[in-house]
Structures are given as structure tokens and as C-alpha cells.
Chain A
Amino acid sequence: DVKVTQSSRYLVKRTGEKVFLECVQDMDHENMFWYRQDPGLGLRLIYFSYDVKMKEKGDIPEGYSVSREKKERFSLILESASTNQTSMYLCASIGVLAVNNEQFFGPGTRLTVL
């Protein structure tokens, strides 16, 4: 089974802190994604990566950056956390030869910024 894991289920940080959200997948997938999920807004794409050291902005990249130094790991970075970044963050991955184009999602990290 494909496994996508995220470093924390719940995280509480203070305004201005630098925050790292980690995502690891174990299926050698090329493509990885970070979404944020907010009530009434659904899932919105922040950044994605289609290969090591490659990244592209999604629909709402402002205030975020990412890092993909190894194929299995995709990190989302909040350089200076703000209260409007309080949200649920979901990581996903998909292989180039994926059956059904199914993206596999991690369990999510619920981040609260105080």
C-alpha cells in the first residue's frame, strides 16, 4: 500500500515563527503536492513538485516555500507564520505511471498559529 506520512497531526505555533511541515511517501512517486483545506473553500494547491529540486507554484503560494531535496520527502515552509495560515495542510503524491491518476493523501496536519 502507498503510504504518505506527515510529521505531525497537530501543531501549534506562534506568529512569526518559522514552521516546517514534512511529508514523506514510500512509493517512489515523482510528483508531490501541498494543499491547504479551509471550511467552505475546499482544497487549494499551494505548491507542487514533479522531481527532486523542482517546484512550481500552485494557486496560493504567498507566504509559503517548499523544499524537495530527496524524492521521497517534500517539505512545506512557513517563513514567518501568521494567524491566517491556521489551517489543515494535506500532502499528496502520485507516480508518473499511476493507475487511475489517483493522488494518495497523507492524514493532514492541523496547524494553529497563535
Chain B
Amino acid sequence: AQKVTQAQTEISVVEKEDVTLDCVYETRDTTYYLFWYKQPPSGELVFLIRRNSFDEQNEISGRYSWNFQKSTSSFNFTITASQVVDSAVYFCALSQGGSEKLVFGKGTKLTVNP
């Protein structure tokens, strides 16, 4: 069975701090995809990144970076120099190869205070 665990329910930081959101997954598949989505207060989920199981390269996009480690089944997300606009609920998700069905973690609510 597939499972995604986001152990941090809520995180609160002060603006300009760096923050890492943890994601641990379980799957028996050798081909799978990992995702991060952002849900701002408006409610609509916004796609941030997808990683496939054969690509362990870390990714950086502006202030966002992702660290994928198959050895620990983790796909962590770091925001550098956080801003108030980063306040949102962040979801990590997993899909098995060949399927569009997503299994989501329970989400981490990030609050960035000015």
C-alpha cells in the first residue's frame, strides 16, 4: 500500500527564516512520482513540483528547493528566506507509475509571521 507521511502538522516561523517541510513515503513500486502542492488561504491547490523515482537530483527553483533521497524514502521541501506570502498548507503526494491517482499526506500548515 502507498502512504505519505507529513509529520509536521503546523510550523510557524518569522519572515526571512529558512524552513524545511518533511515528507516520507511508502511504496512497493519501483516507478513512482512524488509531488508537492501548495494550498493558499484561497483554497485552490497549486502544483509546485514533480519528481520521478529515477531522478534523485535535487531541484532548486528560486527560494524553493527539494531534496529527494530514496535511501530514506524522503522528499523534503525547503523554503529559503521565507516570506509572508509563503503562508499556506503544503501537501506532499505520491502516485505510482502509470497511474494518475494521487495519495496525499495530511499536509503541513506553514505560517510565516512578519
Stretch in B11-19, B67-75, B79-87, B102-110 touching the partner: B102-110
User: How many contacting A-B pairs (Cβ < 8 A)?
Assistant: 55
The answer, yes or no, to whether B100 is at the interface (CB within 8 Å) is yes
Count, chain A residues at interface, CB 8 A = 27
Q: Report whether over half of chain A's contact residues are helix, strand or loop; otherwise say mixed.
A: strand
* Measured CA separation A14–B44 after assembly (Å): 26
* Measured CA separation A100–B33 after assembly (Å): 9
Q: What 1/0 flags go to A19-35 for Cβ under 8 Å of B?
A: 00000000000010101
* Measured CA separation A12–B42 after assembly (Å): 19
How far, in Å, is B69 (CB) from chain A's closest CB?
21
How far, in Å, is A87 (CB) from chain B's closest CB?
13
Contact between chains at A102 and B50 (CB < 8 Å): yes
Contact between chains at A105 and B45 (CB < 8 Å): yes
